[in-house]
Structure 1
Amino acid sequence: MTKIGDKITQLRKQKGWSQTELAKQISASREAIGKYERNEALPSVETAKKIANAFGVTLDFLVDDATTPSLDKETVKRINDIQEMDSTTKTVLFNVIDTYIQHFKTKQAFAK
């Protein structure tokens, strides 16, 4: 089970930001960021939304305690756009995506 503080720490380190840099991004104090990361305090919903936006992830990803990967906002937007397409267009698009996925997996297999 991954806690919100652990996710904030992980995302912050992935961005290469200090606690101070994240605090500036969301208009909070470095001390508050430290408390969130140590799981000593939970951010308010508004602050959690600001944190999610700063990292480009969904609020769901940030607050969900599952350790499974989640989708970033760009991917979610694309999926929503795809859902609005007619079935013929979706089929063509899925065929293209499947081809790229297979190509990627093949490259990975031979790289090992």
Structure 2
Amino acid sequence: MRRCRASIEAAKKLARALGVTLDYLGGETDGPVFDRKTAEREHVFALLDAFLAKSKMQAILK
């Protein structure tokens, strides 16, 4: 029982690190199912990318 619990905990950590669900890791869903936190993180990264691109463009045009 202890070994099984350790495997479940490892799977949870892996899913959390990858930003997917345990169902996805286990092959129970067709595609990754992202939670709200993952979606928000992607939006933040997209905004940062846009900001950096704008800053670079402004530096080039000066």
Q: Same fold (TM over 0.5)?
A: no
Q: TM-score range by the shorter chain?
A: 0.3 to 0.5
Structure 1 or 2: more helix by fraction = 2
Q: Which has the higher contact order (CA 8 A, sep 6+)?
A: 1
Structure 1 length normalisation: TM-score? 0.24
